[in-house]
């Protein structure tokens, strides 16, 4: 079975087909300041210009217009439930070790087909499969070794993961990484990645004078 088939199966096997939606508590007033607000509450900006407030009731998120955007329930044994306040969709995320699986449910608690995603973190690289396709992210995989590099791959690229060992020079060098099924990524020099295909070696012709 291919690596990405396994990841996609994780969505079906790790998450139930239906869930009981949690009741979203009333949104408090959006905090006007960031940092520690006391009583276990923390506030700060979000990446998209909004604001969040986290506390014992979970994490409340507002968009940049100041409207309620999402509510994230307190995490329980690695499972987190996030409610989209605008669509009603519910995202359930399960994190165990290097595995990270998520599924999307409608407001009634029924899972939406094809909306889930799964990934596995091997330390120096992470394999991901989701609605947008399959990718591999290699730590420090850019040419100068300073940034991570993400590569899109086809379903047929990898049959198995045989080894993940650092090799060569540079922060992003990878030797034998994701080598399987005749295809893989190997170290292509300091901090670079190149696609390779394993081809059978040609037999040397014996000398007639031998």
Whether 157 is in a domain gets the answer yes
Whether 143 is in a domain gets the answer yes
pLDDT for the residue 206: 57
Query: 166 is in which domain, residue-wise?
Result: 124-199
Whether 103 is in a domain gets the answer no
* Cα distances (angstroms) measured from residue 5 to each of 9, 11, 67, 85, 183: 6, 10, 39, 32, 16
Q: How confident is the model at residue 27 (pLDDT cuts 50, 70, 90)?
A: very high
Q: How far apart are CA 106 and CA 88, in angstroms?
A: 7
pLDDT for the residue 49: 95
Q: What's the pLDDT tens digit per position in 71-110? A: 999 998 889 999 999 999 999 999 988 889 999 999 999 9
Whether 42 is in a domain gets the answer no
Whether 129 is in a domain gets the answer yes
Whether 171 is in a domain gets the answer yes
pLDDT for the residue 122: 79
Whether 8 is in a domain gets the answer no
Q: What's the number of domains the chain is made of? A: 1
Whole-angstrom Cα Rg for the chain? 23
Structure-block tokens of residue 42:
């923390």
Answer whether residue 16 shows pLDDT above 50: yes
Whether 136 is in a domain gets the answer yes
pTM assigned to the model = 0.67
pLDDT for the residue 191: 34
Answer whether residue 43 shows pLDDT above 60: yes
Structure-block tokens of residue 104:
């999307």
| CB count in 10 Å sphere of residue 136 | 23
Tell the residue number behind the tokens 């170290």, with chain if given: 187
120 DSSP β-pair partners:
99, 127
């Amino acid at each position: 079975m291919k690596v990405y088939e396994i990841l996609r199966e994780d969505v079906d096997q790790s998450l139930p087909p239906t869930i009981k939606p949690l009741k979203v508590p009333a949104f408090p007033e959006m905090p006007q300041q960031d940092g520690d607000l006391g009583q276990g509450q923390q506030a700060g900006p979000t990446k998209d210009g909004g604001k969040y407030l986290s506390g014992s009731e979970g994490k409340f998120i507002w968009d940049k217009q100041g409207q309620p955007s999402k509510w994230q329930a307190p995490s329980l044994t690695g499972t987190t439930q996030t409610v989209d306040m605008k669509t009603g969709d519910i995202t359930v995320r399960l994190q165990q070790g290097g595995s990270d699986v998520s599924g999307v449910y409608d407001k009634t608690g029924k899972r939406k087909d094809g909306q889930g995603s799964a990934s596995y973190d091997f330390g120096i690289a992470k394999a991901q499969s989701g609605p947008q396709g399959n990718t591999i992210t290699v730590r420090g995989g850019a040419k100068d070794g300073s940034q991570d590099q993400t590569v899109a791959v086809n379903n047929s690229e990898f049959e198995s993961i045989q080894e993940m060992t650092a090799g060569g020079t540079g922060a992003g060098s990878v030797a034998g990484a994701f080598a399987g099924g005749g295809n893989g990524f190997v170290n292509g020099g300091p901090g670079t990645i190149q696609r390779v295909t394993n081809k059978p070696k040609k037999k040397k012709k014996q000398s007639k004078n031998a």
